[in-house]
Amino acid sequence: MNRGLSRGLAIGGVVLLAILLLVALAAPLLAPYDPDERSGRPFARPSAEHLLGTNDVGHDLLSELIHGGRVSLLVGVVAALVATLIGAAVGVAAGYARGWVDTVLMRAVDVVLSLPTLPLTIVIGVFAGPGLGTQILVIATVMWAGVARELRAQVLSLRERDHIQALRAMGASPVHVVSHHLLPAVTPLVVPQFVLATKTAILLEASLAFLGLGDITAKSWGTMLSLAHSRSAFLTDAWLWWVLPPGLAIALTVLAFALLGFAFEERARPSLRVRSRPARSGPAPRRVARGDGPALVIENLAVTYTGDAAAVADVALTVSAGELVGLVGESGSGKSTVAAAAAGLLPLAGEITAGAVLVEGRDIATLPADELRRMRGNRIALIPQEAMSALNPVHPVAEQLAEAVLVHRRVGKQAARRRAAELLTLVGIDPGRGRDYPHQFSGGMRQRVVIAMALANDPAVVIADEPTTGLDVLVQEEVLALLDTLRRTIGIALLVVTHDLPVIETVADRIVVMKDGRVVEAGPAAQVLTAPEHPYTRLLLGSALRLQVPEPAP
């Protein structure tokens, strides 16, 4: 939803609710008569004395309406509170304890959720007899289960987080973990649940009261409707002043709570928000014919994220065909921003404010979106960090490779499949394994598949973003050796981004070191490694704890 609109709706909800609450609280002051007092003749039409007329026994309807809000809101809020508290307790207990506690509680939740709400409330209501207590009990009984289910899911995922695990490792009791950490963490989710539950509870209360299960001595809007119905007000003009006002009151209250609840929910889950894309400003596209120049040229590149200082400034580097350049930097150095800019994949908030990224002579910083899309995966390819999340778990890998080919090439399915088999062979996987799914491959093999996918359309430039992070140490070496071989055999320009200098020192031709958004040192690998000029490069080299063992005899 648009932010301005959703903010306006939230404010509308708050104002509406505030008015309703004020009226309910100040009912004795606002109401012209005591609602239980015979203040006029029965069935009076609206007049100056009785703005909404009177009912069958001469009670003032306006006074009933004003006082009725108290009962409706009270029952709604209390019932929702009880339901939310029970639901929260059950959900947290089930999610945290797991095992048989979870099984028993959640089966109970399933049963409650699968029963039809209205018939159930009627049955329990008739059984327990009319009255406010009964209404609250009945409403809470049917509503706690939804809250419980929602919170259990949250707690299940929270309890596996490291900081909760850390508490358990410190010997914290479940009571401590739940009261000090889980409850505060789920509260932002409980609040919208409560508000939306109130909305439902008020509707249920009206239904119950209409069916005659309300407390006749404490009339709510539902009770008013029920009486109006039994005195045939629905069939005469009287519906205008007897039926419409309480109906409208119920609708407005429900609307107010709904608006407020959705606003809370949106705040608790930012993913429900949709951001708007900032307009891209920049110089006109420029094309430089440089057929024999380096495949990737980055010229005094500057990238700024919305509202912040430049994340990257004055970065220049080149990668020629068949060359492997290592881009090294620690967290916050801007290396990933450079990689994203080079791949044409800057996040929405990022903008190239100066410089150029030339892939085969074309400046991708200024290309229109559709041309950029044609370049990505075709002339420039990215090897992402996490191999598992880069592959679709429900399709065989050969199919995914074929799809990557078909995105950019108009070839038949057969040709795409042949190409997939070729690609698998290229990265050292038996093409027969193409029928297997990603989970059937080891971490290293999956990374090989991801590399194959990047190569699907013979790109000129490949950018590998931390291609070995998270992989087993032995597999890291394999993956690097493969990348090294590939750039030699098929002549791609390869930019490897890493935070770990030792990882690339044996394979890189040239090394570019970044710190705080700027290049501090760049040069041939041998020179950077043996005679670093910048103190930061020396720090990086000096702080590496290298294994020193004599070379084993051949």
Partner 1 sequence: MSPVLAVEGLTVSFRGKIPAVSDVDLTVGGGEIVGLIGGSGAGKSTVARAVAGLVRPDHGSIRIAGSELLGARRAEVRRLRRMLHLVFRDPYASLPPTARVADIVAEPLAIHRVGNRGERADRAAEAVEAVGLPTALLRSFSHQLSGGERQRVAFARALVTRPRLILADEPTQMLDASLRRDMVDLIDELANDRRIAILHVTHDLGLAQHSCARLVVMCRGHVVESGPTAELLAAPRHGYTAALIAAAQHRPSKGLS
List interacting residues with partner 1 (CB under 8 A).
161-163, 165-173, 176, 180-181, 330-331, 443, 471-477, 481, 499-503, 505-506, 539-540, 543-550, 552
Nearer to partner 1, 403 or 478 (CB): 478
Q: How far is the CB of 338 from partner 1 (least distance, A)?
A: 17
CB 258 within 8 A of CB 302: no
Question: What's the DSSP call for residue 233?
Answer: G
Nearer to partner 1, 265 or 478 (CB): 478
Q: How far is the CB of 507 from partner 1 (least distance, A)?
A: 8
CB 464 within 8 A of CB 479: no
Instruction: Tell me the two tokens of residue 428.
Output: 């050292």
Instruction: Tell me the two tokens of residue 138.
Output: 């009945």
Instruction: Tell me the two tokens of residue 136.
Output: 């609250």
Nearer to partner 1, 123 or 166 (CB): 166
Nearer to partner 1, 112 or 182 (CB): 182
Kindly list the distances between the CA atom of residue 274 and the CA atoms of 191, 193, 267, 418, in Å, as whole numbers in the listed order.
Answer: 22, 22, 12, 41
Kindly list the distances between the CA atom of residue 154 and the CA atoms of 96, 111, 148, in Å, as whole numbers in the listed order.
Answer: 10, 21, 10
Nearer to partner 1, 123 or 539 (CB): 539
CA-wise closest residue to 464 among 342, 374, 308, 359: 342
Q: How far is the CB of 481 from partner 1 (least distance, A)?
A: 7
Q: What's the sign of the alpha-carbon dihedral 409, 412, 417, 422?
A: negative
CA-wise closest residue to 213 among 128, 271, 148: 128
Other beta carbons less than 10 A from residue 73's beta carbon: 24
Nearer to partner 1, 52 or 324 (CB): 324
Dihedral (C-alpha) 66, 71, 77, 80: value to the nearest 10 degrees? -140
Nearer to partner 1, 45 or 168 (CB): 168
Q: How far is the CB of 316 from partner 1 (least distance, A)?
A: 24
- Give the separation between CA 30 and CA 388, rounded to whole angstroms: 65
Q: How far is the CB of 98 from partner 1 (least distance, A)?
A: 13
Q: How far is the CB of 274 from partner 1 (least distance, A)?
A: 25
- Give the separation between CA 499 and CA 515, rounded to whole angstroms: 11
CA-wise closest residue to 35 among 249, 237, 203, 216: 216
Question: What does DSSP say about strands 296-305 and 493-498: parallel, antiparallel, or unpaired?
Answer: unpaired
Nearer to partner 1, 168 or 413 (CB): 168
CB 74 within 8 A of CB 43: no
Q: How far is the CB of 187 from partner 1 (least distance, A)?
A: 12
Q: How far is the CB of 501 from partner 1 (least distance, A)?
A: 7
- Give the separation between CA 349 and CA 352, rounded to whole angstroms: 10
- Give the separation between CA 430 and CA 256, rounded to whole angstroms: 62
Nearer to partner 1, 117 or 485 (CB): 485
CA-wise closest residue to 144 among 90, 208, 213, 72: 90
- Give the separation between CA 18 and CA 16, rounded to whole angstroms: 5
Q: How far is the CB of 476 from partner 1 (least distance, A)?
A: 7
Amino acid identity for residue 384 in this structure: P
- Give the separation between CA 226 and CA 219, rounded to whole angstroms: 10
Q: How far is the CB of 115 from partner 1 (least distance, A)?
A: 33
Q: Please list, in sequence order, all residues whose beta carbon lies within 8 angstroms of the beta carbon of residue 397, skipping any fewer than 6 positions away.
A: 391, 424, 433, 434, 436, 437, 438, 441, 449
- The dihedrals phi and psi of 346, each to the nearest 5 degrees, come to -60, 140
Nearer to partner 1, 103 or 217 (CB): 103
Q: How far is the CB of 97 from partner 1 (least distance, A)?
A: 15
Q: How far is the CB of 471 from partner 1 (least distance, A)?
A: 7
Amino acid identity for residue 529 in this structure: L
Element at 499 (helix H, strand E)? none
Nearer to partner 1, 28 or 332 (CB): 332
Q: How far is the CB of 339 from partner 1 (least distance, A)?
A: 17
Q: Is 342 helix (H, G, I), strand (E, B) or coil?
A: helix
Nearer to partner 1, 42 or 332 (CB): 332
